[in-house]
Chain A
Amino acid sequence: MRYAKALPFGEGLGGAFKTNNMKSDIILAGVGGQGILSIATALGEAALADGLLIKQAETHGMSQRGGAVYSHMRISDQPISSDLIPGGSADLILSVEPMESLRYLPYLSETGYLVTNITPFVNIPNYPDIELVLAEIHKLPRFIAIDADAIAKEVGSLRASNMVMLGAASPFIDIEFSKIENGIRTIFERKGEAVVNMNLEALRRGRIFAEENR
């Protein structure tokens, strides 16, 4: 199976990893309440299991009430200094909402990927025409635009949408796919086998989409 194959080192990373060191600087984006931290937790578990170092800055407080939220997630095999990713150097923007994916473009590196859900979360009166938002995404040299909500519904629950997104981003993160799967097992374990399997399926479906549409 394609998706189960661990990526050889640096493959498909758009040239982001030219050094011998492993480094993934990821901006996670969304709207307060969409649960981007569940993605960070799954990824964090995977990175830890891989013996990697992590720093991850989160948004807590007022913005969690439906405002724009983001997390800076840094994974490396070398010590990480800053808790924040420097501008123009993120390897990946992973957004669960299309307009939010664009808000963090100043962080994206020249070789970085933008991976976003295309289902808008409209909680403001002046939300732009979604076609204009998608057009901006399509201007980027490297992006994956995926209807994660539709895929999540197919696998059983809209709530699995974030794991579809993680799957769609996984080809661009330098962590073995099986480790990410294990991360998901760890965080959903207490909710039972059915929930674990649904989220794993969501992850795989996201990954397949990204592989086919990169």
Chain B
Amino acid sequence: MQKHLFLGVEAIGQGAIDGGMSGVYAYPGTPSTEITEFIQDHPLAEERNIHRKWSANEKTAFETALGMSYAGKRAMSCMKHVGLNVAADAFINAAMTGVNGGLVLTVADDPSMHSSQNEQDSRFYGKFAMVPILEPSSQQEAYDMAREGFALSELTKVPVMLRITTRLAHSRAGVECSDVLDENQLSMPADPRQFILLPAIARRKYKGLLQSQDLFLKLSEESKYNRYEEGEDKSLGIVACGIAYNYLMEHYPNGTCPFPVLKISQYPLPEKLIKRLNQECDELLVLEEGAPMVEESLKGFFANGTPVKGRLDGTLPRDGELNPDLIAKALGKEFFQGYNIPEVVANRPPALCQGCGHQDAYVAMNEALADYTKGRVFSDIGCYTLGALPPYETIYSCVDMGASITMAKGAADAGLIPSVAMIGDSTFAHSGITGLLDAVNENSSITVVISDNESVSMTGGQDSSALGKIESICIGVGVDPAHIHTIVPLRKNHEEMVRLFRQEFAYEGVSVIIPRRECIQKMSRKKRNSK
């Protein structure tokens, strides 16, 4: 078998293709983006004509994948953790409808918030939906789980969640690939009412989902991904979930761990294995990336069983990602802690690129806003969120995709007039349009700045689904065309931009200003590639 050096995300892309997937549906989001990009560039995906174009957002992505599953084919939807908030309605209900072709939801969490606004743990969503969750500890498992996930979904008749975190997503290791499976043929669901969640049918479906839990548990208990490893020293039993298993084993190479270890990579939690660990050991230590989900359930409300250590009792930090050092400390191991960082070292936060159009837009906005009290600009998720930092300090919010427009409207409703929204082209397409419709319907006094760099830039320059459509979308939603302006954000147009901003801030109604210039990174990538 050939060994490939794959990032975790690439391993998942390859696994999905090899598992007979007919379509991937996704919206870019770190650390999940490269799964879809890998599939987009893959020769077999081209040969098989696997669906691999970007969706407008995670909800449309997941629903489309569900539609493909309805028609009998295998589909994957990929997103970052906060993307699952957007797709949650579809995901939770897909557990009720069940699947026809195998359906895998790959969700990439970002503990420590390297590139995110929170560090929520998607396993809660899997548990909430009551579906099996796979959590690989290595790139090889990521490949295998992506490949086998469709069959598991078809066996359990529900969507399966594949949960990874940043470190596994963006770390490379050798992966051995297995045979490439055939795609499914088009086939209709056996029960024509399977996907109709009318209350009468939904009640029956829900009972079915509840009854399936026994099967999911049995599969977890028998899973090759969950493993009980014997240990002589029963003073401690260790539960190691996902990638935390590797951090643990870093300290015990070649099977030298003295304690019994329960490696968990498939949920629901394998009850029998947990009970065995509980019976054999004096104390338990839970190592899990993200929230203390397993720890909480082992500890119980009254904490009157075997003592459980982990993130809740301070043995490990309550927030942030794990690493080998935190686990060494939790195990009481001594190690050389390296040299201190000299005081001379300054922080180097990310910043807008030199020559980026967002910079010109912010400089002009600041000048036009100088006549007003501060705190009027609501922003959104993208590179332009860096406008919160010096030298701009223009924006006052960054909450979730699309919230700039709706929060500006709410603030205007409260009397903060004018209120301004700053949103990118792709974020506008993702979740800004409905908010704009709300504002139009009430003629709210807001100015929406759609800073259009013709790209999803923060994640690496993917095509925005609103490319070339922004003005027509705004007109279609009902914005007065007299108050839609497009300008090229360049220093030479500064005075004109300031004038436009001033004019529309003063207008009592919905206005849209579109500073449009291609992302500087995307432009230079294109130049390099065409050489």
Contact = CB atoms under 8 A, between A and B. Distances in A.
Interface stretch (B92-100, B185-193, B333-341, B467-475): B333-341
A137 B351 CA distance: 26
Contact of B336 (A63, A88, A99, A132): A88
Given A61-B115, A66-B351, A124-B348, A83 B342 contact: no
A44 B172 contact: yes
A82 B322 CA distance: 11
Contact of B170 (A58, A87, A89, A125): A58
Interface stretch (A47-55, A150-158, A172-180): A47-55
B5 interface: yes
Interface residues of B, number: 49
B171 interface: yes
B114 A63 contact: yes
B246 A99 contact: no
A86 B328 contact: yes
Nearest to A68: B348
Contacts, number: 160
B328 A65 contact: no
B67 interface: no
Nearest to A83: B171
Interface in B389-437: 390
B213 interface: no
A99 B345 contact: yes
Interface in A80-110: 80-90, 99-100, 102-103, 105-110
B114 A136 contact: no
A136 B342 CA distance: 7
A62 B115 contact: yes
B30 interface: yes
B345 A102 contact: yes
B367 interface: no
B246 A61 contact: no
B114 A62 contact: yes
Interface of A: 31-33, 44, 48, 53-68, 72, 78-90, 99-100, 102-103, 105-110, 123-129, 132-133, 136, 140
Interface of B: 5, 7, 30-31, 33-34, 114-115, 167-168, 170-174, 243, 246-250, 253, 323-325, 328, 335-342, 344-353, 383, 386, 390, 458-459
Q: Which 3 A-B pairs have CB atoms at the shortest separation, nearest pair first?
A: A61-B115, A67-B350, A61-B30
